[in-house]
Structures are given as structure tokens and as C-alpha cells.
Amino acid sequence: MRHFIVFAVGLAFAFCALVFAADKPSDVPSKVQPVKTAPIKAVKETRISFTGIVKEISNTTIMVERTVKDNVETMEFALDKAVENIKAGDRVKVSYIKKEDKNIAIKVAHDVVKKIIRKMAPAKEAKTAPTEAQPPKK
């Protein structure tokens, strides 16, 4: 008889555990988390710069001749804004970007050649102590 009571209590406990374990849908609607999307990064424009000699210039375009590995090439650029004090034959530094297969000059400035000035160290004066006359060797 004891075995029967223990068996009945165990069976009742198992059924009660199943009832409490059942997941009922909640009456309160759950909050929907918005989907986080990665921010779209703007395409970084690569700015390229070089030095060269101006061949032609107008208010909207500039043609610059540059030397790359012993090859001379002429490049044409659309100007972002008109440049002042630059004429054909000047040595300039051009900073440009490529947009839709066009070269657009962002900055055009005179190329300043930096002169290297070497300061000569003052010549060291040889300090000689008075020497005594040595007898000639035989």
C-alpha cells in the first residue's frame, strides 16, 4: 500500500509540473525591437596630388604636364573654382579627385621649391703646441 501512495503522489507531482511548465501566450503584446542596421558609410574620396608644369589654363579647365618614371604625360582637370595668379609655364602642385571618370582639381597652388641650406661647420683650427727641436736621426 505504501508503494501505491508513493506512486500516486509522484504521478500527481509529474502532471502538476507539466501544467506549470506549459507556456501560455501572454495577453500583453511584447515590444518589437527595431532592427538595427549598420550605418552606411559614405564612399571616401581618394585625394591624389602631384607637381607639374601648367601647359594651358582657363576658368574651367587646366592642363598640367607631369613626369612619372621618365614618362611625360599631360593631364586635364576640371577646376572646382577659378584659380588666381597661375599662368602657363608655372610649376604647380595639384590635388585632385576622380568623380565619374573625370579628374576634378580641388586645390592648385604654386610649388615652392625648398632650398636646402647647409651650414658649413667652422674649420677647426689646429692647435699646435710648441715643439722642441729634435736632434736629427743618424
> Measured in whole angstroms, how far is the alpha carbon of residue 126 from the centre of its chain?
55
pTM of the model: 0.50
Q: Note the CATH architecture for domain 48-110.
A: Beta Barrel (2.40)
**pLDDT tens digits, 113-134:** 766 777 776 766 555 555 566 6
**pLDDT tens digits, 32-59:** 777 777 777 776 678 888 899 999 988 8
CA distance linking residue 7 with residue 5, whole number of Å = 5
Going from N- to C-terminal start, the domains of the chain cover 48-110
Per-residue model confidence (pLDDT) at position 48: 85
Per-residue model confidence (pLDDT) at position 124: 62
Question: Which residue type sits at 15?
Answer: F
Most confident of 19-23, 28-32, 98-102, 114-118: 98-102
Residue 17, phi then psi, degrees to nearest 5: -65, -40
Q: What is the DSSP pairing of strand 48-57 with strand 102-110?
A: unpaired
At a CB cut-off of 8 Å and minimum separation 6, what does 59 contact? 79, 82
